[in-house]
Amino acid sequence: MTAVKHAYDTFIHETGGWVASQLEACTRCGMCAEACHFYQATGNPEYAPVWKVELLRRAYEQRFTLVGGFKKMIGIEKEITDEDLSHWSELNYHACTVCNKCSMVCPMGIDLGSLLHGVRAGLAAADAVPADLMAAVNKQVKEGSPLGMTDSVWDQRLEWVADEWEVDIPRDVKGADTMVVFSSIEVMKFPTNVAAIAKVLNKAGEKWTVSSKAREIVNFGFYQGSEENTKLFLTRVLEGAKELGVKRIVVTECGHAYDALRWHGANWLPEANDFEIIHITGVLGELIGSGRIKIKPGAFDGNGTITFHDACKIQRKGGHIQEPRDILNVLAPNSFKEMTPNREESVCCGGGGGVIAVKAADEPRYAAFQLKIDQVNTVGAKTVAMTCSNCRLQFTDGVDHFKLDWKVAGLAQMVADALVE
Amino acid sequence: MNPQAMLEFARGPFFYAALLFMIFGLAYRVFTVVALGWSKDRVPNKGSKASGVVKTYLKALLIWPFIPWVKNTFDRNPLIYIGGGLFHLSLFVVVILGTPHMLVWKSLSGLSWATLPLPIVDWTAAVGIIAMIMLLINRRINPVLRLISGPAEYLSWLFVFLPMVTGYMMTHHLWLPYENLYALHMLSVDVMMIWIPLSRISHFVFYFFARTIHGAEFGKRGVAV
């Protein structure tokens, strides 16, 4: 019963008035299910967000409310069991990307994303996290990166990127204004993104650097739901920034890492407020808007329709909704078309929240991706642009799995390719 | 107990006891929730929390209830939007703009206001009753609603449905003598008031927490609510 006790303790620790008042507001209308891409794709009622937060609700009501205590006493409500933990582990880590679309349709406005994160916290405390996700977390604890980007791999990769694309990547420069922290997904799988961002910042004359200490922005502790690990990985980034004395931290094309650092960081680690924290999408918007870099209008016109995929953590939860549109309207004024729904109401890619790292989640993940396929096919797009490497990983995998003929493009890369020399 | 005595009890001591139970019960629930504490949000805003809150209330109170099809989930479960919307509309019209109910409010608060003609209120009440039946059927058919509904959900439905249906019968003098119906109506209202703080019907209080949090969360990120 120790796992169950850890889960209860964490659920209770997570449940301040902020969480409790939202749990109390739920009318059990089931509307959230209709917003969930996993429910839409599979029809499995257990994928309803309200059901995914069931354990958190049970823990709260049993421990904090008279009615919950009474229901437990007469047996309508059961204590959480080990079986419950493993069952809800599947519901939450296999079929939820914590994309928060559900909160957009809740008639009460409940911020379900935060509650779902609370459920993960309890499951993480009870060691009820899928083994492959946990392996990645442990790898990040030990090696500094879930994708095996150790000190020496980091050195080699950066040297190779700098050589291959003939681009200067300033490293560990004390007194730089901006520290850029890449995700290992980019460094290891989409290296052109690293070169592209370097090219853009150099062109803008930005005093920037990367840090060997703060070399990984990915935060698998945040996927896991463990406060301890999340803080550990955030601390590495903040310490790197402090060491170099930078003013701002730029998070590259990684969604959940941006969510963790920008929107939660200071609540865990107040020193996060010593820095301005911004996503690369915001930086691109700024540089183009102020004329510090110029991009060639229409550079991407003429190769079929281009659409933009909104990432849950960068657009819906991050607020960088307008910049990509402004940029694409310059790059491809004639061929940029929106999917429906879009912007803050967009459909999630299905691979976020660590889902893509869990092999057993392949089935719901591919099912959810089919909603995205329908959306892209409806606008007839040949290229899908996006600002999140995790989405991009899901898209490239999906394109491969379903044998689609789309191009998947990172926005930073497109900007770099269209720079006016 | 004869119907007259029953009525006196249901609209007299039992009514006031139930009303007090409801008020203190809800106050207790709010107090226990607030007492759990609120941690300070130290994250700097991108947009404005206040403007997010204002916008979300405007949308949720003035737009979505009246044109729910602007929500892109509308098509996926229109029954719940239409049924839920009509039920709440009926509730507000009957309980606030129906003359007999206004008089109850007046006796409690001293305030009075113009009411709607009986036929309008009556038809709205009928719509509300039909909406409630639709919602119950939907709750039994929809796989998600079946999964998340326990005894409490069905009791909530029943304790709201009884005052509606007895009120309607009273207005139309259906089946039973008027006094019996009146007594039943008052009894069911009393039971409902006792049930409210024990159940999720209390969402009308916690709604304001959730909606405010929603507006603040989206507003601070500069995202449309």
Q: What angle do CA A231, A97, A84 make, to 5 degrees?
A: 85
- A163 pLDDT band, cuts 50/70/90, is very high
B210 to A109: CB separation less than 8 angstroms, yes or no? yes
- pLDDT, one tens digit per residue, over A356-365 is 999 999 999 9
The yes-or-no verdict on residue A69 having pLDDT over 80 is yes
A323, A263: one domain: no
Contacts of A37 in chain B (CB under 8 A): none
A65 vs B159, higher pLDDT = B159
The yes-or-no verdict on residue A148 having pLDDT over 70 is yes
Q: What are phi and psi of A339, to 5 degrees?
A: -80, 165
B144 to A39: CB separation less than 8 angstroms, yes or no? yes
Tell me whether residue A300 is in a domain.
no
Q: Using CB atoms and an 8 Å cut-off, which of residues 95-134 of chain B contact chain A? A: none
Any idea what the CATH number is for the domain that residue A359 is in? Answer: 3.40.50
Distance from CA of A153 to the nearest CA of B (A): 34
% of chain A at pLDDT higher than 90: 90
Average pLDDT, chain A: 94
Contact A111, A30 (CB under 8 A): no
A149, A285: one domain: yes
A10, A86: one domain: yes
- pLDDT, one tens digit per residue, over A101-128 is 999 999 999 999 999 999 999 999 999 9
% of chain B at pLDDT higher than 90: 72
The yes-or-no verdict on residue A188 having pLDDT over 80 is yes
Contact A238, A245 (CB under 8 A): no
- Residue B225's pLDDT is what? 82
A210, A178: one domain: yes
Average pLDDT, chain B: 92
Domain boundary among A95, A128, A161: A128
Contacts of B202 in chain A (CB under 8 A): 24
Contact A411, A386 (CB under 8 A): yes
Tell me whether residue A297 is in a domain.
no
Contact A314, A255 (CB under 8 A): yes
The yes-or-no verdict on residue B76 having pLDDT over 90 is no
A78, A189: one domain: no
Lay out the sheet containing A381-386: strands in order across.
A305-308, A381-386, A407-410
Domain boundary among A78, A93, A128: A128
- Residue B37's pLDDT is what? 87
A266 to B223: CB separation less than 8 angstroms, yes or no? no
- pLDDT, one tens digit per residue, over A283-306 is 999 999 999 999 999 999 999 999
- Residue B205's pLDDT is what? 95
Distance from CA of B76 to the nearest CA of A (A): 6
Q: Using CB atoms and an 8 Å cut-off, which of residues 163-222 of chain B contact chain A? A: 198-200, 202-203, 206-207, 209-211, 213-215, 217-218, 221-222
A86, A200: one domain: no
Please tell me if residue A43 touches chain B, with a CB cutoff of 8 Å.
Answer: yes
Tell me whether residue A298 is in a domain.
no
Range of the domain at A358: 305-417
The yes-or-no verdict on residue B50 having pLDDT over 90 is yes
A309, A269: one domain: no
The yes-or-no verdict on residue B1 having pLDDT over 80 is no
Contacts of B63 in chain A (CB under 8 A): none
- B31 pLDDT band, cuts 50/70/90, is very high
The yes-or-no verdict on residue A167 having pLDDT over 80 is yes
Domain boundary among A236, A259, A289: A289
Tell me whether residue A165 is in a domain.
yes
- B38 pLDDT band, cuts 50/70/90, is confident
Contacts of B149 in chain A (CB under 8 A): 28
- Residue A144's pLDDT is what? 92
- pLDDT, one tens digit per residue, over B79-115 is 888 999 999 999 999 999 988 899 989 988 889 999 9
Chain B residue at shortest CA distance from A315: B223
Give the least confident one: A87-101, A156-170, A217-231, B107-121: B107-121
- Residue B212's pLDDT is what? 95
* Sign of the alpha-carbon torsion through B117, B118, B124, B128: positive
- Residue A37's pLDDT is what? 96
Q: What is the arithmetic mean of pLDDT over A72-79?
A: 87
Tell me whether residue A326 is in a domain.
yes
A378 vs B74, higher pLDDT = A378
Of A51, A67, A108, the CB nearest to B207: A108
- pLDDT, one tens digit per residue, over A268-277 is 999 999 999 9
A139, A278: one domain: yes
Q: Which residue has the tokens 């853009």?
A: A200
A30 to B36: CB separation less than 8 angstroms, yes or no? no
Tell me whether residue A379 is in a domain.
yes
The yes-or-no verdict on residue A176 having pLDDT over 90 is yes
Contact A416, A200 (CB under 8 A): yes
- pLDDT, one tens digit per residue, over B161-214 is 999 999 999 988 888 888 889 999 999 999 999 999 999 999 999 999 999 999
A18 to B142: CB separation less than 8 angstroms, yes or no? no
Please tell me if residue A322 touches chain B, with a CB cutoff of 8 Å.
Answer: no
A330, A410: one domain: yes
- Residue B73's pLDDT is what? 82
Tell me whether residue A295 is in a domain.
no
- The count of C-alpha atoms lying within 13 angstroms of the C-alpha of A70, restricted to the half-sphere facing its C-beta, is 6
A141, A216: one domain: yes
A319 to B223: CB separation less than 8 angstroms, yes or no? yes
Please tell me if residue A273 touches chain B, with a CB cutoff of 8 Å.
Answer: yes
Number of domains forming the structure of chain A: 3
- B63 pLDDT band, cuts 50/70/90, is confident
Any idea what the CATH number is for the domain that residue A107 is in? Answer: 1.10.1060
Q: What is the arithmetic mean of pLDDT over B64-71?
A: 80
A150, A89: one domain: no
Nearest one of A102, A7, A72, A86 to B150, comparing CA atoms: A72
A317 to B221: CB separation less than 8 angstroms, yes or no? yes
- Residue A67's pLDDT is what? 87
Q: What is the arithmetic mean of pLDDT over A331-351?
A: 94
Of B29, B76, B200, the CB nearest to A28: B200
Any idea what the CATH number is for the domain that residue A214 is in? Answer: 1.20.1050
- Residue A1's pLDDT is what? 59
Q: What is the pTM of this model?
A: 0.93
A272, A312: one domain: no
- pLDDT, one tens digit per residue, over B118-138 is 999 999 999 999 999 999 999
Tell me whether residue A299 is in a domain.
no
